A and B are shown apart, each in its own frame.
Chain A
Amino acid sequence: MREIMEGSHAIALAVKAARPNVVAAYPITPQTHIVEDISQLIADGDLDAQYVKVESEHSAMSVCLGASATGARTYTATTSQGLALMHEVLFNAAGMRLPIVMTVANRALSAPLSIWNDHQDSISERDSGWIQIYAEDNTEASDLTIQAYRIAEDSRIQVPVMVCMDGYTLTHTYEPVELLEQDLVDDFLPPYRPTDFLNVSDPKSFGMFADPNYYTEFRYQNHRALEAAKAVIPEISSEFGEVFDRDYGGLIEEYRCDDAEYVLMAMGSVVGTLKDTVDDLRDDGVRVGAIKLRSYRPFPVDEIRRALAGLEAVGILDKNISLGFEGALFTDVKASLYHDDNAPKAFGFIAGLGGRDIPKRTFVKMFDYIREDKKSSNSEFFDLNTQILDFQEV
């Protein structure tokens, strides 16, 4: 069943279908419609959950942490500055192995103040120990919300999950969304029943102190859990595919890569525009393809190595930048290829920051760029308006 609705509403309905017990969130553009719709569902009695009003995102994540430790299924959503304010608690939630699910309505970070989309907010939480999966459209974002609970609560891993969807570009867009039938969701996602939880009749301590004899081992286990998620994410995705007839593949999606010589790689909603560009160029006989990176953490090293083997060149779009170095994806892709003798040339592009639109012609220019015989270097800023710069070369 398909219905047309705003992306944010689709997420609210997916959250409802997941039957969380506790929702705690603080409103921030462009996440607002999601949590407004959820609080309405709760107020109308359509979702039996407790909505905790909080005074900041730090508190929102703290409430989720506490609630999750009692064995409640919890949900929150945020973006940009709000996610940055959660920073400290994110690490705690991951270290305590609490399966919280959060929607990140991706938006740029200040200053300068921008309410528009890029990926700097979630990329900057790369090392928090959360799984990060990026959605291409609203159906995928909605489906991922359900899968995220299965992944997070999987007893083999037990890690929190961020479902990243582009702010405005997805959250505020009306488009047809495949609905999640409640009975199917209930079968696919049974209630959360952790073995360890805060319980007065069986007391335990959560988030304990670890001296130097133990800390490293805890971190190792946490790391192994993220690594293990590389098998769990595709497994749950295909199980979801069997039930709902929509399988998004695993950690990456390859689009017309079979006989491709040149490939561009990106994350999030811009991949749709990229796929259309690939079709256009293919019609002109150019052998190009696209790779959609779905899981940013854990990073799919093996899949990327396999997908890129034998290509002439790959271009990596980063809607983020690690200032003073380059785009985060670009770094990770190059690191993945380091031991490969037949690795393609790799080029990094910084574009789409702070809501700068990426039309098809930008991707065409990127394909042109990687098809020229250039040497790879650090990321290039693409679509930069050099006329307005006030920059002094040192």
Chain B
Amino acid sequence: MKEVRIHGRGGQGSVTAAELLAVAAFEDGKYSQAFPFFGVERRGAPVTAFTRLSDKKIRLRSQIYEPDYVIVQDATLIAAIDVTSGLKPEGMVIVNSEKSPEETGLDAGIEVRTIDATGIALEIIGRPIVNTTLLGAFAGATGEISIESIKRSVLARFPGKVGELNVRAAEKAYQIMAATERKPHAKAGAREKRETHEIHEKIGTAAIGKPGTSEITKTGDWRVFYPELDMEQCTRCGKCLENCPDAAIIERTLSGHEADAARKKAEELEKAGKIKKAAVKKAHIRYELDPTYCKGCGICANECPIKGIKMKLEEK
């Protein structure tokens, strides 16, 4: 049996990747099992998903503690969590990164393969959807699964044009990975084992906790996209602010000289026919993003009645 652990962030399709991998293995005539690390799925939050592949029926139901392979969909996770926890000595980590394996910061005792899945996905699919690209890379790097089955399972899930593009991205990643030999690291297994259990704080008796937990949780770390607010067109309706689940849009009222300048600029724009009247009246009110808490969920962009918010890919 081979066990695969996928680390990603909510919205990157980690669970879908685990499922597609299981479907592909099934297509290859194997038994397989895929399941998420069951939790509250939030866009941007670290997500773990698991896949088991075997020639025999799989009965084991526990999470995967000693994976043969780890797929890291987002290299920023390497600093945040122990992605290689429990990895088998002869195991391999595949990281979505344009950097070299040595530059990932992962333990030198581990075989690391990198692939610029985001780059490939942007080039071929036009969106930074990396899960299918990484499955192609997995097939190429490990040989555990045929690229044909990966393609079939992707097409079955995403029929039509979207599926075709995903298949092309997977194919490209496959070619790149398959072209280079596997080199199990000489020092494999030499690294020390880190404690895998989370350390929890002491609990009270009646599930009563400290206040302000949303302040402690820096949801900004989860962000893959960020909203760009068009403050010229904005009518200050407040919908984005009201609907933001993390209170990450802050209202700031300008005063004095700053307020005058803002009003003047808005009036000029209106005269030039560039913006609507509604956008002028409250020009002295600004909506700003709080990067510490904006998790990039895109709800604000969805809610904005004038479609004045665009979700942009965060530069890492």
Measured CB to CB, the residues of A under 8 A from B are 4, 6, 30, 111-113, 115-117, 136-137, 168-169, 172-176, 269-270, 272-273, 275-276, 355, 357-360, 385, 387-391
Partner among B31, B34, B62, B206 whose Cβ is within 8 Å of the Cβ of A273: B62
Task: Return 17 A-B CB contacts under 8 Å, by A number.
Answer: A4-B22, A6-B19, A30-B38, A111-B206, A115-B38, A115-B40, A137-B59, A172-B35, A172-B36, A174-B33, A174-B35, A175-B33, A176-B31, A269-B61, A357-B62, A360-B62, A388-B203
- CB neighbours (8 Å) of A111 from chain B are 206-207
The residue on B at minimum CB distance from A362 is B62
What is the 8 Å Cβ interface bit string for chain B, positions 279-301, against chain A (1 contact, 0 not)?
A: 00000000000000000000000
Assembly CA distance A360 to B59 (angstroms): 11
* Interchain nearest-CB distance for B175 vs A (Å): 27
Contact status B201-A4, CB under 8 Å: no
Question: Is B58 interfacial (CB 8 A cutoff)?
Answer: yes
Provide the bound-state CA to CA distance between A208 and B243, in Å: 51
Report how far A272 CA is from B33 CA in the complex, Å.
Answer: 13
Nearest CB of chain A from residue B13's CB, rounded to whole Å: 14
List chain A residues, Cβ under 8 A from B33. 173-175
Q: How many residues of B contact A (CB 8 A)?
A: 28
Give the A-binding residues of B (Cβ under 8 A): 18-19, 22-23, 26, 31-36, 38, 40, 58-63, 65, 200-207
**Chain A residues within an 8 Å CB radius of B63:** 357, 359
**Residues of B contacting A112 in the complex (Cβ-Cβ under 8 angstroms):** 207
Contact of A276 among B22, B36, B59 (CB under 8 A): B59
> When chains A and B are docked, how far (Å) is the Cα of A111 from the Cα of B59?
31
Task: Chain A residues near B205: list those with CB within 8 A.
Answer: 390-391
- Contacts A174-B19, A276-B60, A359-B62: A388 and B34 contacting too (C-beta < 8 A)? no
Q: How far is the CB of B184 from chain A (nearest CB, A)?
A: 26
Residues of A within 8 A of B40 (CB): 115
Q: How far is the CB of B21 from chain A (nearest CB, A)?
A: 9
Q: What residues of chain B lie closer than 8 Å to A357, measured between beta carbons?
A: 62-63
Question: Do the beta carbons of B23 and A4 come within 8 Å of each other?
Answer: yes
Cα–Cα, bound, A358→B34 (Å): 17
Q: Which residue of B34, B38, B62 is within 8 Å of A174 (Cβ)?
A: B34
Do B32 and A175 touch across chains, with their CB atoms under 8 A apart? yes
Residues in chain B near residue A269, CB distance under 8 A: 61
What is the predominant secondary structure among interface residues of chain A facing chain B? Answer: loop
Q: CA A169 – CA B22 in complex, angstroms?
A: 16
Chain B residues with CB under 8 Å of A355's CB are: 38
Chain B neighbourhood of A113, CB < 8 A: 207
Which one of A30, A117, A176 has the greatest number of beta carbons of chain B within 10 Å?
Answer: A176
CA distance A385 to B203 in the complex (A): 11
- Cross-chain contact of A116 among B26, B38, B206, B207 (Cβ < 8 A): B38
CA distance A116 to B35 in the complex (A): 14
Complex-state Cα separation, A276 to B38, whole angstroms = 22
Q: Which residues of A contact B32 (CB under 8 A)?
A: 4, 174-176
Q: How far is the CA of A275 from the CA of B60 in the complex (A)?
A: 8
CA distance A209 to B101 in the complex (A): 76
Q: A169-B35, A169-B61 are in contact. List 14 more A-B contacts (CB 8 A).
A: A4-B22, A113-B207, A137-B59, A168-B36, A168-B38, A172-B38, A174-B19, A174-B23, A175-B22, A272-B59, A272-B60, A273-B61, A357-B62, A390-B203
* A251 and B62 alpha carbons, distance in the complex (Å): 25
Rank and list the top 3 A-B pairs by shortest CB-CB distance, nearest first.
A272-B59, A112-B207, A359-B62
Minimum CB–CB distance for B153 against chain A, Å? 9
Contact A358 B62 (CB under 8 A): yes
Closest A-chain residue to B206, C-beta based?
A111
Which residue of the partner chain A has the closest CB to B18? A174
B59 touches A173 (CB 8 A): no
A169 and B34 alpha carbons, distance in the complex (Å): 10
**C-alpha spacing A168/B15, complex, angstroms:** 13
Residues of chain B contacted by A169 (CB below 8 angstroms): 35, 38, 61
In the complex the two chains form, what is the Cα distance from A389 to B35 in whole Å?
31
In angstroms, how far is the closest chain B Cβ from the Cβ of A122?
18
Known: A168-B35, A388-B202, A389-B203. A174 touches B59 (CB 8 A): no
CA of A70 to CA of B195, assembled, Å: 59
In the complex formed, the residue of B with least CB distance to A110 is: B207
Residues in A neighbouring B35, C-beta threshold 8 A: 168-169, 172-174
Known: A273-B62, A357-B63. A390 touches B26 (CB 8 A): no
Complex Cα–Cα for A174 and B205 (A): 37
Query: How many whole Å from A29's CB to the nearest CB in chain B?
Result: 9
- Name the B residues within 8 Å of A388 (CB-CB): 200-203
Q: Which residues of B contact A276 (CB under 8 A)?
A: 59-60
Residue of A nearest to B58 (CB): A175
Picked from B34, B59, B65, B204, the residue with its CB within 8 Å of the CB of A390 is: B204
Give chain B residues whose Cβ lies under 8 Å from the Cβ of A360.
60, 62
Nearest residue in A to B35 (C-beta to C-beta)? A173
A180 and B40 alpha carbons, distance in the complex (Å): 32
